[in-house]
Amino acid sequence: MSKQEVILCEELESSLTTAIGNCPHDKLFILTDEHTHRLCLPQLSNIPTLKEATEIIIGAEDIHKNLETLASVWQALSEKGATRHSLLINLGGGMVTDLGGFAASTFKRGIAYINIPTTLLAMVDASVGGKTGINFGGLKNEVGVFNDSKFVILDTEFLKTLDAENICSGYAEMLKHGLISTEAMWEELVSFDLANPDLKQLQRMVGDSVKVKERIVEQDPHEKSIRKALNLGHTFGHAFESWALKRKPILHGYAVAFGLIPELYLSVAKTGFPTEKMRQTVTFIKENYGTLNITCDDYDELIELMHHDKKNQNGIINFTMMGAIGDIRINQTATTEEIKEALDFFREG
Ligand code: GLY
Q: Which residues contact 16 (CB under 8 A, 6 or more apart)?
A: 9, 44, 47, 49, 50, 89, 114, 116, 153
Segment 313-332 shows an average pLDDT of: 95
pLDDT tens digits, 243-269: 998 899 999 999 999 999 999 999 999
Query: Average model confidence (pLDDT) for the chain?
Result: 95
- The CA 216 to ligand 1 mean position distance, Å, reads 10
Q: Closest ligand 1 atom, CA of 173? A: 1
- The CA 14 to ligand 1 mean position distance, Å, reads 28
Segment 283-287 shows an average pLDDT of: 98
Is residue 164 predicted with pLDDT exceeding 50? yes
* Contact between residue 2 and residue 148 where contact means Cβ atoms under 8 Å apart: yes
| 3-state percent helix, strand, coil for the chain, nearest multiple of 5 | 55, 15, 30
Segment 22-35 shows an average pLDDT of: 97
Among the residue ranges 153-167, 170-184, 273-287, the one predicted with the least confidence is 153-167
Strand 151-154 with 112-117, pairing: parallel
Residue nearest atom 3 in ligand 1 by C-alpha distance: 230
Give dist(CA 229, CA 237) in Å, integer. 14
* Contact between residue 329 and residue 320 where contact means Cβ atoms under 8 Å apart: yes
pLDDT given at position 158: 93
Asked whether 230 lines ligand 1 (CB < 6 A), one says yes
pLDDT given at position 1: 47
Distances from the Cα of 256 to the Cαs of 100, 146, 219, 252, in angstroms? 24, 22, 23, 6
Residue of 261, 267, 264, 239 whose CA lies nearest to 252: 239
Confidence band for 315, pLDDT divided at 50, 70 and 90: confident
Segment 89-111 shows an average pLDDT of: 98
Q: What predicted TM-score, i.e. pTM, was given to this entire model?
A: 0.94
Segment 134-144 shows an average pLDDT of: 89
Segment 136-159 shows an average pLDDT of: 93
Is residue 292 predicted with pLDDT exceeding 50? yes
Longest dimension (CA), the chain: 61
Q: Ligand 1 pocket test: pick from 131, 310, 328 the residue with the most ligand atoms within 8 Å of its Cβ.
A: 131
pLDDT given at position 2: 52
Confidence band for 97, pLDDT divided at 50, 70 and 90: very high
- The CA 230 to ligand 1 mean position distance, Å, reads 6
Residue nearest atom 2 in ligand 1 by C-alpha distance: 230
pLDDT given at position 310: 79
Give dist(CA 86, CA 24) in Å, integer. 8
Asked whether 131 lines ligand 1 (CB < 6 A), one says yes
Give dist(CA 54, CA 145) in Å, integer. 25
Residue type, 293: N
Segment 310-332 shows an average pLDDT of: 93
Confidence band for 349, pLDDT divided at 50, 70 and 90: confident
pLDDT tens digits, 172-229: 999 999 999 999 999 999 999 999 999 999 999 999 999 999 999 999 999 999 999 9
